[in-house]
Amino acid sequence: MNVLAAGTLSVAAYSVLPYVALAVGIGGLIWRKKTDRFGWTARSTELLESRVLRYASVLFHFGVLAAIGGHVLGILIPQSWTEAIGLSEEAYHVLAVVGGISAGFAVVVGFAALMYRRVRFPRVRVTTTRMDVVTFVVLGVAIATGMLATLINIPDTVHYRESVAPYFRQIFILDPEPSLMEGVNWVFQTHVIVVWFLYALWPFSRLIHAFTVPVGYIWRSPIVYRPRGGRSGARTGTYGSGAPDYSPSIPSSRTSRPKTSEKAAQPH
């Protein structure tokens, strides 16, 4: 079963769509940088709920990084290169399946936990925008089809290194060959098409934070949180004692008012 047969639709999906998605994605990043510099963020909701986020976010992001690394190796490294260093195709496939299933499992569990958190906790749910919903749907389909593609290819029946991988390399050298994708399993076809849409959507969603490298964080001055008001010396379930940990630069009226000695205050 093929999502798209040979013809105009195949050319549109595998030759035109990639360049439109890349143009929109790159152009969107430039536009967002120039017009919404301070909105370049994931809009974290950690202050609203942190117990689930603490584990779900770490699991999801580490899984994504591993999956991206596997895609880069599988797409950009030709089969002849791995064979040249003594890694047989059978050994490579075993490594790819084990790594892909491990990374995919982390991504699926982490993403499911993040979605559960967003639905379960009202304070987090109300922060969800329409763009978030579209992003989560597209990202969810991409994750599901990617995991399914890994599982159905355990017997190595798709031979994606001879079809999908060359297809992407041809895209990058501006010489697309849609015929490489036409005979591929429909799960792989769907995954590729959905990912192109995800690239186009990327600059306009919270996913844009992936392009931010916090290099300046290492040298940034620490942010000091001080209690507002509060009760001096009180030890409750909140942080801080309520007393400032610094000396005020301007003395208060009580400390600046000159004191009258008791002797001077007595009537003569």
Residue 233 has pLDDT above 50, yes or no: no
Q: How far is CA 62 from the centre of its chain?
A: 10
- The identity of residue 28, as a single letter, is G
Ranking 1-10, 44-53, 171-180 by mean pLDDT, the lowest is: 1-10
The CATH number of domain 8-36+44-209 is 2.60.40.1120 = no
- Kindly indicate the confidence band of residue 245, based on its pLDDT and cuts at 50, 70 and 90: very low
Give the Cα separation of 42 and 53 in Å (integer): 13
Tell me what pLDDT residue 198 has.
96
How many CB atoms lie under 10 A from the CB of residue 189?
Answer: 23
Structural domain boundaries in the chain: 8-36+44-209
Residue of 101, 200, 199 whose CA lies nearest to 153: 101
pTM over 0.85: no
- The identity of residue 124, as a single letter, is V
Tell me what pLDDT residue 250 has.
47
pLDDT in tens, 123-155: 999 999 999 999 999 999 999 999 999 999 999
Tell me what pLDDT residue 235 has.
45
Mean pLDDT of the residues in the chain: 83
Residue 251 has pLDDT above 70, yes or no: no
Give the Cα separation of 159 and 110 in Å (integer): 29
- The mean per-residue pLDDT over the stretch 6-25 comes to 90
- The mean per-residue pLDDT over the stretch 109-113 comes to 97
- Kindly indicate the confidence band of residue 193, based on its pLDDT and cuts at 50, 70 and 90: very high
Tell me what pLDDT residue 159 has.
86
Give the Cα separation of 129 and 202 in Å (integer): 15
- The mean per-residue pLDDT over the stretch 86-114 comes to 93
